[in-house]
Amino acid sequence: MQKLEVLGANKLKGQIKISGSKNASLPILAATLLSKKKIILKNLPRVRDIETMLTLLKSLGSKVRVNNNHTIIDNTNQKKKFASYNLVKTMRAGILVLGPLLAKYGSARVSLPGGCAIGTRPVDIHLKALSKLGVKYKIDQGYVIANAPKGLKGNKIHFSKISVGATENLIIAASLAKGTSILSNCAIEPEIKDLINFLNKMGCNIKWISKRTIRIIGVNKIKETSYSVMFDRIEAGTYLIAAAVTEGNLKIKNVIPEIIKTEIDVLKKLGLKITIKKNEIQIIGNKKIKNMKIKTAPYPGFPTDLQAQIMVLLCKANKNSIIEENIFENRFMHVAELNRMGAKILTKGNKALVEGNISFAPAELMATDLRASVSLILAALSAKGKSIINRIYHLDRGYENIEKKLKKVGAKIRRVN
């Protein structure tokens, strides 16, 4: 099994180009199932979750060809409606094929999803909403078996709670439903806006009619199209924090700064010097980090996917800080490993009290989920000496060429078998 060796205490200097967004690519790939034609996608990141989704599409009958900078998906002969547990178990986004398969064929059998063990993430919000479009379903031996005997029909749907996955699944499904659907209390993440841009380019008719309300008029024809996926805002945030943790000086390229305004504002309040250009952010580290109370929240709030990384930075703050995790109920699994490196973090319920003025010590560590694993790299980059991070397959699910990108800006990091 592969692991990472990190020799810490080097300031990161230089520039990093941000890859395409994993969290935007996954629903867009699922949405390609609506088409019976060729779709060309550019800027897909080379990460394991994307490989898994492409394998899932192939298992459903899609032809997939990956070139250097674009992926061609041809659904001319795509006819299968069964998504197996073996493919869906490693990532929760597998459930997103349910909406397009029901829209296209009126029936589907899809395994309940897996992914990181950071919370329950129930799919009941997806299923209740789909039932409003005329879907009848049952869960049998870990599979959702769903049918829409008369096809999908547009309806008014109010989500009981803001859910990114359910919003995406329903947008895709309602795109081919007969009539008009109004979705309210929707998630408004940039990745959802990217999905809508893609679907509209394919010939769908989707429009925001207020901040969290979407109107979808069903269509019966989908066009061939080519689309470039947005940048990965979580990857961008991770490298901004990496520069801060190592007191470095990084230029983060290929980004749209307005999309990560919340994260930039938090880093400025912590005392970091940030300069913004059109598609670039420069961050200069500071020895003195201020303390803060941070609450994770749905977009445009502070993202749960950067909670573990910002915690590492708050360990270096001048006083104690508090982090409140409001999205997932089991997302402090990195705390035990950071404490083994000398951090003093106390968790109680959904709050973490983070003691400041900490110097990290090197250690052998165990990654528990995707974002936790990258937080351990950040702490190791700051520690004097050699740290080893095990179970990095979590990391490969969502970060493209992380050690190559870090090496280019001065990190001493290598992958070993």
141 and 31 in a common domain? yes
Q: What is the pLDDT of residue 369?
A: 86
Our measurement of the distance from residue 131's CA atom to the centroid of its chain's CA atoms, rounded to an integer in Å, reads 26
pTM: 0.95
Range of the domain at 253: 3-17+231-416
What is the SS3 assignment for 132? Answer: helix
Instruction: Please indicate, yes or no, whether residues 302 and 390 belong to a single structural domain of this protein.
Output: yes
pLDDT at 286: 94
Please give the pLDDT value at position 372. Answer: 87
* Boundary of a domain, candidates 207, 228, 249: 228
- My answer on whether 201 and 237 are in the same domain is no
Say whether both 246 and 217 belong to one domain.
no
- Considering the domain architecture, whether residues 235 and 223 belong to the same structural domain is answered as no
pLDDT of residue 117: 47
Are 92 and 64 members of one domain? yes
Same domain, 130 and 33: yes
How many domains are contained in the chain?
Answer: 2
Per run of 10 residues, the mean pLDDT along the chain (length 417 residues) is: 95 98 98 96 96 96 94 96 90 92 97 60 88 96 93 97 96 98 98 98 98 97 96 98 98 98 98 97 96 97 97 98 92 95 97 98 93 95 97 92 97 96
* Final residue in a domain of this structure, among 228, 257, 289: 228
Of 174, 195, 228, which residue constitutes the final position of a domain? 228
CA distance 177 to 57: 22
The residue type of 94 is G
Active site residues: 116
CATH number of the domain residue 284 falls in: 3.65.10.10
**Cis amide leading into 300 (omega within 30):** yes
> Is residue 56 within 8 Å of 88, Cβ to Cβ?
yes
In this structure, are 224 and 275 located in the same domain?
A: no
Residue 118 has what pLDDT?
Answer: 38
One domain, residues 238 and 132: no
| Beta sheet of 82-83, edge-to-edge order | 82-83, 107-111, 143-147, 136-140
Does one domain contain both 80 and 158? Answer: yes
pLDDT at 195: 98
Quote the tokens at residue 276.
Answer: 């913004």
